[in-house]
Amino acid sequence: MMTYIALLRAINVGGNNLIKMADLKVICGELGFENVRTYIQSGNVAFESVETDKVAMGVKMSEAIAASYGFTPPVFVLDKADLQVALDGLDLDFVEEKFVYFYFLEQAATHAKIDEIEALLKPDNGFKLADKLFYLHCAEGAGKSKLAAKIDRLLGVKTTARNLRTVKKLIELAG
């Protein structure tokens, strides 16, 4: 069995798409995933599975949530190596980890609007686009960033974001 991390997009944010983590663990167990554990309320799930198709596991989880809750969150399934590659690829200058964000992309952003991204970037911030990852240092926090609010449109793909602290914790959770 291999350990995977599922990142659910836009659940338990602003009072929308609410799922209790205990209920999410049950859903994952019903899908045949084992040793299911969650981290914070924003949709981070570690589990073990004999399956190897990460996209298919994400689709199954998303469909199961839709059947129970009536909304279909995108689910990005990664393994520890994916998370470690993401962490190792970080080379932005920053002071606080909580203001460094990893945007995991559904697919490579081949049509990213880099000029528009750069135009929205504040002087003390930075970004890097690499394959299926977009790194953002946003010193004022993503909640106050015009760039962060428009990132899916500017990259042209669906994303889900986690800050550096969370990525490090998820690597720990993956074992």
pLDDT tens-place string over residues 63-94: 999 999 999 999 999 999 999 999 999 998 88
Tokens of 2: 């291999």
Residue 124: what pLDDT? 86
Q: How confident is the model at residue 53 (pLDDT cuts 50, 70, 90)?
A: very high
Which residue matches tokens 């996209």? 55
What is the residue extent of each domain of the chain?
A: 2-79, 89-173
Question: For 105-130, what is each residue's pLDDT tens digit?
Answer: 999 999 999 999 999 998 889 999 99
Residue 88: what pLDDT? 95
CATH class of 2-79: alpha beta
Q: How confident is the model at residue 42 (pLDDT cuts 50, 70, 90)?
A: confident
Residue 14: what pLDDT? 73
The contacts of residue 138 (CB under 8 Å, 6+ apart) are 99, 100, 101, 122, 125, 144, 145, 147, 148
Q: What percent of the chain has pLDDT over 70?
A: 100
Q: What percent of the chain has pLDDT over 90?
A: 78
The contacts of residue 5 (CB under 8 Å, 6+ apart) are 44, 45, 46, 77, 78, 79, 80, 83, 170, 173, 174
The contacts of residue 56 (CB under 8 Å, 6+ apart) are none
